[in-house]
């Protein structure tokens, strides 16, 4: 004799299925509605040995993946970075670091090599030289990064030995540091410059300063 399933049991099973479907739908909606201006990366890149500004024990780390040949990086450095430094780096809340990206080939590599050589020679002169390179970037796409240009820019910055810099460039002394940056760029699948990462969070629009502020403030609250 076949037993009949209890109507109560059938209702309970159907109810459980409906609840499971509702939970799955809520999770899907929450994932889709997560903040559109940021995305989580697979971690924060190490900035050990990288040019940095700010306090080493700052609770928040901001990393720029940038290319000295990139026009957008020039704009970001002129319009966003000074505000970031004023609001967060100078206050001790943020340590800022720059990682070289070589999307524009040999000229990007040469500029990065020169900058890394300056950093190795005198870390205190690095950021002035960094700024000088971006300031020298022309408005068109002409070839302009040459050894003579890198040395000319170095001569305009205090406390850089240009003869030592020339030797370092000729001997590729800091090429390992440049290659290390390329390894980081590949490891984090960086696709565009500038890419701004804040404690492992990539800012979708690096020119939206409000998004940068929100990400930093959230990280500060969580620290």
More confident residue, 48 or 26: 48
Q: Reply yes or no on whether the pLDDT at 203 is more than 50.
A: yes
Mean pLDDT of 68-97: 98
For the segment 193-202, what is each residue's pLDDT rounded down to a tens digit?
A: 999 999 999 9
- What pLDDT, on the 0 to 100 scale, is given for residue 4? 45
Q: Reply yes or no on whether the pLDDT at 3 is more than 50.
A: no
- pLDDT above 70 covers a percentage of the chain that reads 81
Query: pLDDT category, 32, cuts 50, 70, 90?
Result: very low
The whole-model pTM stands at 0.81
Mean pLDDT of 158-186: 98
Q: What is the 3-state secondary structure (H, E, C) of the chain?
A: CCCCCCHHHHHHHHHHHHHHHHHHHHHHHHHHCCCCCEEECCCCCCCCCCCEECCCCCCEEEEEEECCCCHHHHHHHHHCHHHHHHHHHCCCCEEEEEEECCCCCHHHHHHHHHHHHHHHHCHHHHHHHHHHHHHHCCCCCCCCCCHHHHHHHHHCCCCCCHHHHHHHHHCCCCHHHHHHHHHHHHHCCCCCCCEEEECCEEECCCCCHHHHHHHHHHHHHHC
Residue pair 133/108 in contact by the 8 Å Cβ criterion: no
To the nearest whole number, what is the mean pLDDT of the chain?
Answer: 87
Q: Reply yes or no on whether the pLDDT at 179 is more than 50.
A: yes
More confident residue, 27 or 216: 216
Task: Tell me the β-bridge partners of 100.
Answer: 66
Q: What is the C-alpha to C-alpha distance for residues 18 and 118, in angstroms, rounded to an integer?
A: 64
Domain range 40-222, CATH class: alpha beta
- What pLDDT, on the 0 to 100 scale, is given for residue 93? 98
- What pLDDT, on the 0 to 100 scale, is given for residue 87? 98
């Amino acid at each position: 004799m076949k037993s009949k399933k209890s109507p109560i049991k059938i209702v309970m099973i159907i109810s459980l299925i409906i609840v499971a479907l509702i939970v799955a739908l809520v999770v899907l909606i929450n994932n889709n509605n997560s903040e559109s201006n940021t995305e989580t990366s697979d971690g924060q890149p190490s900035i050990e040995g990288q040019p940095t500004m700010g306090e080493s024990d700052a609770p928040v780390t901001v990393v720029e993946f940038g290319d000295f040949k990139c026009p957008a990086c020039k704009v970001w450095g002129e319009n966003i970075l000074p505000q970031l430094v004023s609001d967060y780096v100078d206050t001790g809340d943020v340590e800022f670091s720059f990682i070289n990206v070589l999307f524009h080939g040999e000229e990007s590599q040469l500029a990065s090599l020169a900058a890394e050589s300056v950093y190795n020679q005198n870390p205190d002169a690095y950021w002035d030289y960094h700024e000088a390179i971006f300031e020298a970037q022309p408005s068109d796409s002409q070839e302009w990064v040459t050894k003579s240009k890198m040395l000319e820019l170095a001569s305009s910055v205090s406390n850089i030995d240009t003869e030592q810099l020339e030797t370092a460039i000729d001997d590729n002394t800091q090429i390992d540091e440049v290659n290390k940056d390329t390894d980081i760029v590949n490891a984090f699948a960086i696709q565009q410059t500038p890419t701004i990462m804040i404690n492992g969070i990539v800012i979708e629009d690096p020119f939206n300063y409000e998004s940068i502020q929100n990400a930093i403030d959230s990280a500060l609250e969580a620290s």
